[in-house]
Amino acid sequence: MTLKTKHSLAAFNSHLSTTWYKNKQSLRSFKKKWTSIRHDYTKPPVLYGELEFSERIWSIPTIISNNCVIISCYDGYIYCYDTKTLKQNWRLQTAGPIYSSPAVTTRGDFIIGGEDATLRMVSSNGLCLWQFKANDVFHSTPTLDEKNGLVYAGSYDHSMYALNAKSGKLVWKRMFEEDVVDDIYSSPALTVEGNIIFGTNKTLVCIDKTGNTVWEIENEGRFEGSAALDYSIETGVIGTEENGQIVVFNSRTGTIRAIHETGGFIVSCPSVGYDHIATIGSDDRYIYGVNLQSTEVIWKSEVGARFVYTPFSTLPNGDPIFVGTTDNPTHIDEAVHCYDHQHGSLRWKITAPTGIHSAPLITEQGQLIVGSHWNRVYFYRWPEVYE
């Protein structure tokens, strides 16, 4: 039987290898490219299971083998579950809550930060391979550069750390604005040259693998989200808090290519889809489609939701997917939204009994796995599409 799907496997794998954004699915998976696409992502997935925990799930779920998902919880535990049976395989206790999301190696080992000021590498069977202690929490998500054997992580102690990914030993650290609380909130974006780009207060900085500054961009607003990069055209995009700007820049030189104003602050993390179209959310409750080649805003759509530290992602058909929050303090109204990347029209929206909070994981097996503010993880599935 042949699969009836218009989604291109070659296009998606090319996308995974030529972009960087915080919730790119290959960063949350041991699989850096897919071997098949068997599902129609223009339709919403269907809920098939849930797990209950003692605390909230804000960390993005991560897949470390075909049927093993990592769920990191505010109760201080890292859990591994079977995605088919929803049975627990193992758990690892840390010394504090976990907000950071794992960065996964091709072996299925992963590196994750903790509110206990510790960065850990954990094996696929739940053993702590190494740990590194900073002077304050690792709140943001670490970035793994497997090619150069480095892992980068920012801490609330005002420092960006570069560690040897195999041993966990410090390679270098750079301290930034000590007088600014939480000056490094964004996760470092990895360029094709092996540099990292991240925000520190009102400066967007690019640093090479030896710790030297390549370029800087200054702004009147804070850079709290993470940048998204399109390697094929050497272009990045990021939003600013306070003044709500979308900044498009040359990722190699730091030259600003365009600045677009929005009606609200931006702390969301954009994604890059097909056709060089990036998507980012503003607190004016709109999402914006930006053509990174022309630098123009080609559409904007009113979602009616807020995007508070929301990492956008891209489905295998190129469409953006994201969690929208509301003013409801119970978080029950939070939902996953999918929009057409070319025109900005709503494709579908899914909700959950206790709301949805973490960014979603998408697996090659057709699952969408997402955490809730109310101590749940929900498992959805797309049906396989056959002729």
pLDDT tier, 328 (very low <50, low <70, confident <90, very high otherwise): confident
> By residue range, what is the domain housing residue 366?
9-381
**Mean pLDDT of the region 283-294:** 98
Per residue in 337-365, pLDDT (tens digit) is 999 999 999 999 999 998 898 999 999 99
Distance in angstroms (rounded) separating the CA atoms of residues 297 and 279: 10
**Mean pLDDT of the region 81-91:** 98
> Looking at residue 252, what is its pLDDT?
98
Please determine, for residue 3, whether its predicted confidence score (pLDDT) is greater than 50. Answer: no
Closest CA to 246 of 221, 214, 215: 221
Residue 386 lies in a domain: no
Q: How many residues does the chain have?
A: 387
**Mean pLDDT of the region 41-56:** 97
Distance in angstroms (rounded) separating the CA atoms of residues 82 and 381: 14
Our count of domains for the chain comes to 1
Distance in angstroms (rounded) separating the CA atoms of residues 53 and 226: 28
**Mean pLDDT of the region 219-230:** 96
pLDDT tier, 6 (very low <50, low <70, confident <90, very high otherwise): low
Distance in angstroms (rounded) separating the CA atoms of residues 112 and 131: 10
> Looking at residue 37, what is its pLDDT?
94
Distance in angstroms (rounded) separating the CA atoms of residues 270 and 380: 23
Distance in angstroms (rounded) separating the CA atoms of residues 3 and 194: 38
**Mean pLDDT of the region 228-247:** 98
Per residue in 94-115, pLDDT (tens digit) is 999 999 999 999 999 999 999 9
Please determine, for residue 182, whether its predicted confidence score (pLDDT) is greater than 80. Answer: no
Distance in angstroms (rounded) separating the CA atoms of residues 197 and 207: 7
Half-sphere exposure of 137 (CA within 13 A, CB side): 17
> Looking at residue 387, what is its pLDDT?
44
Distance in angstroms (rounded) separating the CA atoms of residues 250 and 256: 6
Cα distances (Å, whole numbers) of residue 244 to 95, 96, 150, 191, 268: 36, 33, 33, 24, 11
Cα distances (Å, whole numbers) of residue 41 to 16, 65, 231: 17, 22, 25
Residue 2 lies in a domain: no
Residue 83 lies in a domain: yes
**Mean pLDDT of the region 261-281:** 97
Tokens of 361: 């994981």
Residue 86 lies in a domain: yes
Distance in angstroms (rounded) separating the CA atoms of residues 182 and 369: 29
**Mean pLDDT of the region 173-186:** 85
Residue 129 lies in a domain: yes
CATH of the domain at 72: 2.130.10.10
Give the mean pLDDT of the chain. 95
**Mean pLDDT of the region 307-321:** 94
Residue 268 lies in a domain: yes
Residue 255 lies in a domain: yes
**Mean pLDDT of the region 180-195:** 90
Residues 6+ apart with CB under 8 A from 93: 76, 77
Whether 94 contacts 83, CB under 8 Å: no
Tokens of 250: 């040359």
Residue 208 lies in a domain: yes
Give SS3 for 232: helix
Distance in angstroms (rounded) separating the CA atoms of residues 282 and 280: 7
